[in-house]
Chains A and B, each alone.
Chain A
C-alpha cells in the first residue's frame, strides 16, 4: 500500500475538502493505484538532472511600477457570496 485511509484523511484536511466516508474510501483505492503507477519514474536515475519548472526558459519579467486602470470595488465584489461596506464578509475568524 502506497497510501492508507488515515493519510488520505490528512491530505483532505490540507486540501480543505470535507469528504464523505464513501469518498475517502474510494479515493484511498484510486490514489493508491495512481501512486503505484507513478512509481515508474523511479526506474530513471535523475540524480544529476536539473528540474524543469517551465518548459520555455523565462527570466524575471520586470515592468514599470506605474498606476493603471483597475476594475473598481463594485465589480470586484459583484460575485461575492456576501459583501458589506465595500468588503467581503467572511465567518468570524477570531473568538
Chain B
C-alpha cells in the first residue's frame, strides 16, 4: 500500500514513531499530484517549495516530540482560503493574480500545527455552483468516472481526497458545497454548525450561510480536521464562544439508543432508485447497530431552494461589490471615468454564474422589491429553521440522502440554471437552519458512482453525527474503496 493511500490517523502514527518523515510523505503526495492531476484538475496552484519547507519544520518538531495532531500531514485547501504569499484565485479571473497579505484563521491554525500545505484546490467560481463547471481554471473530473462532475462547489477538495492527492482538505459549504461533492466522490465531508469555525480570511459568498469544514478519507480524519480548525475567533464576530470538544474521543460511543429521524419530505417518489435502495440499506445497518428510527416531518422543505436562491444571491451581490478594480484584482480602464472602470472590470472578471447571482441578488435587494423577495425569504428561513428545531425535540440525528442523484455527467445541467439549483434540495435546508450535517459514503450506484448519506445534527451537535457516522462506517466497507486512478 502506498503512503498516499493511508488515512491521516494512520499517517500520524507513522510520523510520530519516525517510521516515515514528513518530507518523504510530502514528496509522495507531490508525486501523486504530478502523476494524476492531469486527469482530475483538482489543483489550481501547487506549492512544492513551501510544502517541503513546511515538512522540514514539521520533521524537526516531530523529532523533538511535541507534535500537534496535524504536524507533518500534507493537506490542501479550497482556493477560497486566503493564504499569505500564495496566490488565491477563488477560481475567478478577477482574482487570478491575487497574492493575499495574510493568512485566514483556519489556515493560521493549521500552520501553527505545522501541517504541510500542498496547494490550492479548484472550485466553482466564488463557491457558486454544484458541479465545479463554473471554474475559470477548468472543470474538475470525478475520480470515479472522469465523464462525471465531482460536485461543487468544493469539487477540488473532494476529488483531491478521492484521488489520494492530499491527506485531507478543507472546503466551504454555503448550500451543500462540502457534503454534495463528498457524496459524489465517495469521501466524508462535514459542514459544521454556523459559528463553529471562523470565517476570517475565507472569501465571502453568502455570509449568513458560509461555513468552513473538512473533507477527508474517513470519519476519524474528519473529526481530527474539525478539532484543528474549530473555535471562537475574535476576528469573526459571528463565531461562537463555546468550548471545542475532543471530537476524536467522542467517536466510539456508538449509536445504541440514539433516535434517528427520517424526514418524510426527503423520501419522495421520483428519488433516484439507486439512492433510495442504498439509503434504505444504510438505515437498516444503523438499526442493527442499535439505533431507533422514527419518521419526522420538515414541512417547509419544498421552499428551501427558493428561499436559498434569494438570500444567498442577495448576500453575494453585496459581498462581491468589493471587486471593483481598485484595491486588488483585474482592472479594465479605457479612460472613461470611475463608474465605467468598475463596470468593465467586473464584466471582464466575473464568469456567467457569478454575474447571474449578482444580478438576481441585486434585483432582490433593489428598491420596491426588497419586501417581496429578500424579506419574504428571511421569513421563510425562520419556518425552515423552526422545522429542524421541532424535529430535534424528538430525535438526536436526522438521516437523509445528500443529493437526489449520483454525480451527473459534465455538461448535463449547464444549460438550465434552475435544474442545477434544484440538485441542492437536500443540503440547502441545513445551511438555512444554521445547523451541522455530514456526508458519509454508503454505497454505489449501478454505474459504480459513490453515494453518500447525510446525517444532520442539532446546532453544535457535531459529536453526535460524527459518532453515528463512525459507527456506520466501522460496520461497513465503503470507505475502503478507492477510485480507479
Residues of A within 8 A of B (CB): 3, 7-8, 11-19, 23, 27, 30-31, 33-35, 37-38, 40-44, 46, 49-56, 58, 61, 63, 71, 75-76, 78-82, 88, 90-93
Interface residue from B333, B376, B459 paired with A42 (Cβ < 8 Å): B376
Q: How far is A33 from B306 in the complex, measured between Cα atoms in Å?
A: 12
Q: How far is A88 from B327 in the complex, measured between Cα atoms in Å?
A: 7
In chain B between 414 and 433, which residues have their CB closer than 8 angstroms to a CB of chain A? 417-418, 421, 432-433
What A residues does B347 contact at CB under 8 A? 17-19
B382 touches A17 (CB 8 A): no
Given contacts A15-B362, A56-B240, A75-B101, contact A49 B338 (CB under 8 A): no
A51 touches B358 (CB 8 A): no
B378 touches A12 (CB 8 A): no
A81 touches B379 (CB 8 A): no
What B residues does A30 contact at CB under 8 A? 356, 417
What B residues does A44 contact at CB under 8 A? 300, 303, 380, 383
What B residues does A41 contact at CB under 8 A? 303, 306-307, 310, 376-377, 380
In chain B between 195 and 241, which residues have their CB closer than 8 angstroms to a CB of chain A? 195, 208, 234, 237-238, 240
Residue of A nearest to B350 (CB): A17
What A residues does B360 contact at CB under 8 A? 31, 34-35
B358 to chain A, nearest CB (A): 5
What A residues does B378 contact at CB under 8 A? 51-53
In the assembled complex, B342 has its CB within 8 A of some CB on chain A: yes
In chain B between 274 and 330, which residues have their CB closer than 8 angstroms to a CB of chain A? 300, 302-303, 305-307, 309-310, 317, 321, 324-330
B328 touches A38 (CB 8 A): no
What A residues does B363 contact at CB under 8 A? 3, 7, 11, 31, 35
- The secondary-structure label for the interface of chain B is helix
Residue of B nearest to A43 (CB): B303
Contact with A along B360-399 (1 / 0, CB 8 A): 1011001000000101111111110100000000000000
In the assembled complex, B343 has its CB within 8 A of some CB on chain A: yes
Interface centre among A3, A18, A82 (most CB of B within 10 A): A18
What A residues does B350 contact at CB under 8 A? 17
Q: A34-B417, A76-B101 are in contact. List 7 more A-B contacts (CB 8 A).
A: A15-B358, A16-B346, A31-B359, A37-B305, A55-B433, A71-B101, A90-B341
- The secondary-structure label for the interface of chain A is loop
Q: How far is A14 from B318 in the complex, measured between Cα atoms in Å?
A: 11
What B residues does A13 contact at CB under 8 A? 343
Sort A-B residue pairs by CB-CB distance and give the 7 closest, nearest first. Answer: A55-B434, A51-B378, A79-B328, A61-B237, A81-B331, A75-B101, A46-B379
What A residues does B359 contact at CB under 8 A? 8, 11-12, 15, 17, 27, 31
What B residues does A79 contact at CB under 8 A? 97-99, 101, 327-329
What A residues does B373 contact at CB under 8 A? 38
A selection of 7 A-B contacts at a CB cut-off of 8 Å is A17-B358, A18-B344, A27-B356, A40-B302, A46-B379, A90-B341, A91-B335
Interface residue from B324, B342, B385, B418 paired with A52 (Cβ < 8 Å): B385
Residue of A nearest to B432 (CB): A55
A11 touches B362 (CB 8 A): yes
In the assembled complex, B337 has its CB within 8 A of some CB on chain A: yes
In the assembled complex, B435 has its CB within 8 A of some CB on chain A: yes
A6 to chain B, nearest CB (A): 13
What A residues does B252 contact at CB under 8 A? none
Q: How far is A12 from B325 in the complex, measured between Cα atoms in Å?
A: 17
A34 to chain B, nearest CB (A): 6
Q: How far is A14 from B383 in the complex, measured between Cα atoms in Å?
A: 31
Residue of B nearest to A50 (CB): B382
What B residues does A35 contact at CB under 8 A? 360, 363
